[in-house]
Each structure stands twice: as structure tokens, then as C-alpha cells.
Chain A
């Protein structure tokens, strides 16, 4: 009887072990699939030419597969979104976490959650109808579908994650720190920005890194506002293609080496994301320690 029971318990244990390891399995599977399907084109094109080639002409008579324009666009686009999104999100977070009256805080937190829940295609749609024509008229340029439009859409899209994570980090700062600073005669503003914020810096850094991850991985909203020509991103007003949109825009009709090259682009994007994840993990650990 006892052994039977033990057998059963062991069996259940085994089942849960498998379930527990399923996330690890998924990550491994995704990595393997991307590496296996991404490597062949890189080998055929040549790593240097693939990563640093400045021209992408996948269906020309003599195809060229250089993805530097996409890499730079993704980097600039993400950088721009961070440049706009982080100050706005950070200041909002400090206000909500430390100063805002309870009611105001509740209402705006709800609004931020809603912002996070809006599908990216809706951002893309509004961007297409409002932002693109707006950018064209405002800057008097021939066409508004550009890097700038994409940056603005991305900046709005990363706001919720930055605000939410920063609030969590700021609220975790021990009250004693702030009390001490206030007792020494600092104004509330000085206290929040010179005591609370430095104390929460790991968490805020994690928020920024998370924003980077979201921005670099967004495809659909960007696809609807960036114009999608594979140009080098020389100016804010140029029509550009991101790593994500390069994959999305050609996938449905590609074949042969072109298709394999798209998988290679996905692999490059995946490597970026893994780096960002590692950084995120590093900052989150730092927050736990402090």
C-alpha cells in the first residue's frame, strides 16, 4: 500500500516537474528554431556583408541582403522613443507615487493601465490617420510616414511599462529615508528627486530597459506609420524599415534565400532581445538586493 502511494506521488511529482520545465523547454525550442533557420542565410551571404551591408534589395536581379539600415533604424527608433518616453514616464511616476492626491492617482493609474491594454494596431491606426498627416503638415515635408512618426508612436506605447515599473520601485523606498531628508529641512521635491529616486534607481533602470525591449520588438504599429522603404536612417523625416517590420513586410510572399534571410533578421532581433533581458534581470536583481 505504501509503495503504491509512493509510486503515485512520484508520478505526480514527475508530471509537475515536466510542467515546471515547460517554460525552459519553450525558450530552448524558440532559440533552436531561430538559430537553425537563421544561420543558413548568414553563411551564404557572409556575416559581415549581412550585418554591415547598407543595401537591402531582396528581389532585385542581383539581390543584396545588407541589414545595417534595419539595425540602425531599430536602434535610433528605440533611442528616440526612450528619449521622449522616459522623461515623461519618469516624471509622471514620481508625481503619482509621491505627490498626487489619492483620487488623482487612482484615476491616472487606471488610465495608464488602459493605455497598456490598447492593441498595437489601434496605435498604428490612429498614428496613420492623425500623426502621419500631422507630421507632414507640421514640418512641411513631402511625406509624414517617417522615422519621427514611428518614434512618437513607440514613445507613447512604452509609457505604461515605464510608469508602472517606476511607481512600484518608488513605492518600495523605505519611508525612513524620506522622513530623514525632510527632517533635515529638504523640500518634498528635493527629497523625492535626491533621496527617493536614487534609492529606487535599480527599479527605474529596469523600467527603462523594459521600455527598450518593448520598443525594439514592436512591429505592427511601426509598420503602419514608418513608410517601410529600406533606407539608411539619415534623417528623422525619412521613410524607414525596422528589424521587426523587415520581417513582417516581406514574410508573406518571400521564398528561397530571401525567406531564409528574413529568419536571419529575426535571429539578430532575438539576440538583441536576449541582451536586453539579461540587462533587465541584472537591474531587477539589484533592486531586490537594495
Chain B
């Protein structure tokens, strides 16, 4: 009797081991590099991917979109992360962008600010320095403090492209991350900034743009105008490693849409 039990146990053990090794066939690492706006979504994806595949090491280096794109180009990472669409010149260098999700760029102000709604034109005028006082927009009589991102940021690229203010913005502060912008605006009643909608916290207020409240729905149906794609950047002529490809498929084939949505952005696939 004892023998039978132990044999059964051993068999069960062997089976479970086999099962384990089957699901754990992936090993190695996936290195991603780029946009700080994508931190939340890519962090969540990486974590759940690692949970499913025990032997995989997933890394994410928050540097900014342009840095991520050049990192792929120079082979310093597997997948680049860009929070703006690839430029034609980047595509001509042999890069391919696959849209992972869509995210709004929220125009954020301090909760004390009474301004609720701005048009695209007003936003552009504010950022180029034509409008310098909140009273011109129906707010308090105080100078507007423009908070922006560093050059090379995908959020800045997307924002300046949509508002048509490339290289004309008169920033008071140029900050190097999404969280930093939110903090600066949260601390200053006169400030306005732009930040990934997915990352916006209650410490700041997102204003309506052309009467539309930024939300996942309005980003999805396109009625919220200031939005940009989150893009996974890979090389066209070089195949990804098996592990990196598995992650790429996991992220882009709809399997992980719930996780993407839970990070506050709209899945593309």
C-alpha cells in the first residue's frame, strides 16, 4: 500500500515538474527603454509577463521617447518605447512602430484654478507667450506659469505637434518626467502643464479641451483632440529574441488588454 502511494506521489511530482518546465520554457531577458509616460502601462505589462514566465527578466529604463528610439537603433535594448508616432526619417532608418495603446495628453492646472475649459488655439497662445495672464481666460488675475517637458520627450513632441507650437514654447520650467510635471503643477496655483492622462492624479485638475473632458472614452472615440499613440519600436530587419517576441505578442495581440486598460490607457488591438 505504502509503495503504491509513494509511486503515485512520485508520478504526480514528475508530472507537475514536466508541466512546470513546459510553461517555463521561456528564459532570458527583455530590455525596454524609452518614454516615461509609458512607465505605468509597461511596468504593469512587464510584471504580469514575468509572473507568467518565471525565468524571464524584464527591464525598463525610463529615459524618454527619443532616447528609447535611438537605443533600439543602436541595439542597446530589445524594444523601444515611444509616446509619439515615429517620424518619417526614423522609419527610413529601418524602424517599425507598433501601436500598443492610445493615451490622452491632459492639460493640467492646479485644483485652485477656476479655468475649466480651453480651446486648442488658447492653449497654443498660452504656450507661445501671447496670453500671459489667467484673467484673459476667465481665471484669477495672476501670471501663467508654463510647465513643460524636456526636449526629447514624446509627450512634449506630441503636445507641440498637435498645438502647432514646435520650438516656440516659452517654458518657465523644463522637467524631465511625467511625475515631476504633475508635482510642479500641484504645488503652484498659477501653473499649467501637460502630462499623460494615465498618470494624472487627484492633486491636479485636468481641464476640458474644446469642451471635451479627457477620459478613456473620449480618447477612444477621438473627440478629445490632444492624444497620441504609445508605440513599441523594433527594427524591421532584425528579429527579436524568442523571449522578446513572446512579450511583444503578449502585449500587442489583445491578450493583455485588461492590464493595459487598468493602467488608464486605451488598448489599440
Using CB atoms and an 8 Å cutoff, list the residues of chain A in contact with chain B.
57-61, 128, 132-133, 136, 142-145, 227-230, 239, 249-250, 252-255
Pick the contact of B67 from A60, A132, A227, A252 — CB < 8 Å? Answer: A252
CB closest residue in chain A, given B175:
A228
Shortest CB-to-CB span from A273 to chain B, Å, is: 25
Q: A132-B187, A253-B63, A253-B67 are in contact. Are A143 and B150 (CB under 8 A)?
A: no
B152 located at the interface, meaning its Cβ lies under 8 Å from any Cβ of chain A in the complex = yes
Binding-face segment, B41-49, B165-173, B198-206: B165-173
Q: A133-B187, A136-B188 are in contact. Are A143 and B145 (CB under 8 A)?
A: yes
| Distance between Cα atoms of A127 and B150 in the complex (Å) | 22
8 Å CB interface, B158-188 against A: 166-167, 171-176, 183-184, 187-188
Q: How many residues of B contact A (CB 8 A)?
A: 26
Name 6 extra pairs, CB < 8 A, besides A252-B176, A253-B150.
A132-B187, A143-B191, A229-B171, A229-B174, A239-B172, A253-B63
Q: A59-B151, A59-B152, A249-B176 are in contact. Are A142 and B63 (CB under 8 A)?
A: no
| Distance between Cα atoms of A151 and B187 in the complex (Å) | 20
Shortest CB-to-CB span from B74 to chain A, Å, is: 8
CB closest residue in chain A, given B191:
A143
| Distance between Cα atoms of A40 and B150 in the complex (Å) | 24
Q: Is the interface of A mostly helix, strand, loop or mixed?
A: loop
B143 located at the interface, meaning its Cβ lies under 8 Å from any Cβ of chain A in the complex = yes
| Distance between Cα atoms of A229 and B151 in the complex (Å) | 11
8 Å CB interface, B63-114 against A: 63-64, 66-67, 70
* Closest CB pairs A-B (n = 4): A59-B151, A253-B67, A253-B64, A142-B143
Q: Please list 12 pairs of residues, one from A and one from B, whose beta carbons are closer than 8 Å in the complex, sorted by A's number.
A: A142-B142, A142-B145, A142-B190, A143-B190, A144-B188, A228-B174, A229-B172, A249-B150, A249-B176, A252-B64, A253-B64, A255-B70
| Distance between Cα atoms of A225 and B67 in the complex (Å) | 25
Using CB atoms and an 8 Å cutoff, list the residues of chain B in contact with chain A.
63-64, 66-67, 70, 142-145, 150-152, 166-167, 171-176, 183-184, 187-188, 190-191
Pick the contact of A145 from B152, B184, B190 — CB < 8 Å? Answer: B184
Query: Which residues does chain B contribute within 8 Å of A58, judged by CB atoms?
Result: 151
| Distance between Cα atoms of A108 and B142 in the complex (Å) | 44
| Distance between Cα atoms of A58 and B174 in the complex (Å) | 13
| Distance between Cα atoms of A255 and B64 in the complex (Å) | 12
Pick the contact of B172 from A57, A142, A252, A253 — CB < 8 Å? Answer: A142
Query: Which residues does chain B contribute within 8 Å of A250, judged by CB atoms?
Result: 150, 152
Query: Which residues does chain B contribute within 8 Å of A136, judged by CB atoms?
Result: 188
| Distance between Cα atoms of A143 and B144 in the complex (Å) | 9
| Distance between Cα atoms of A228 and B150 in the complex (Å) | 9
CB closest residue in chain B, given A249:
B176
CB closest residue in chain B, given A136:
B188
Shortest CB-to-CB span from A151 to chain B, Å, is: 17
| Distance between Cα atoms of A217 and B67 in the complex (Å) | 26
Query: Which residues does chain B contribute within 8 Å of A128, judged by CB atoms?
Result: 183
Q: A227-B172, A228-B174 are in contact. Are A143 and B188 (CB under 8 A)?
A: yes
Query: Which residues does chain A contribute within 8 Å of B144, judged by CB atoms?
Result: 142
CB closest residue in chain A, given B62:
A252
Query: Which residues does chain A contribute within 8 Å of B188, judged by CB atoms?
Result: 133, 136, 142-144
Shortest CB-to-CB span from A55 to chain B, Å, is: 12
Docked-complex contact B151 and A60, CB < 8 angstroms: yes
CB closest residue in chain A, given B167:
A60
Shortest CB-to-CB span from B102 to chain A, Å, is: 23
Query: Which residues does chain A contribute within 8 Å of B184, judged by CB atoms?
Result: 145
* Most chain B CB within a 10 A radius of its CB, from A132, A133, A145: A145
CB closest residue in chain B, given A250:
B150
Docked-complex contact B173 and A228, CB < 8 angstroms: yes
CB closest residue in chain A, given B143:
A142
Query: Which residues does chain B contribute within 8 Å of A252, judged by CB atoms?
Result: 63-64, 67, 176
